[in-house]
Amino acid sequence: MVGVRGRKIVKLASAALVVAAVVQELRKPSSERTWHGHLAGFIPYDFRPPTLARVRDAWWNPDDPRIFTDRVFGVGWAINVGRVVKLTQEKVA
């Protein structure tokens, strides 16, 4: 079980990643800012307004081979529940 100290560390790390992503975008010329990309080449971030299509692709896309997809808004990953369900159904069958 994660204690108070562990939760504080996670919150600080999350805040640091958000700040790093915003700084990364602000360092670009304004015409090149997309407000989505990757930190250190692998941590996804996206600060664009979410769309239904992006929510569906991140959270319910059984044909995408990835279980962890880019988050729809914020920093980090989402869980592709559609893929998990499909894999579970294949195992049971």
pLDDT tens digits for 18-46?
A: 999 999 999 999 999 999 999 999 999 99
Q: Which two tokens stand for residue 32?
A: 């090149």
Task: Say yes or no to pLDDT of 13 above 70.
Answer: yes
- The pTM is what? 0.86
CA 25 – CA 19 distance, rounded (Å)? 10
CA 32 – CA 25 distance, rounded (Å)? 8
How confident is the model at residue 93, as a pLDDT?
85
How confident is the model at residue 1, as a pLDDT?
62
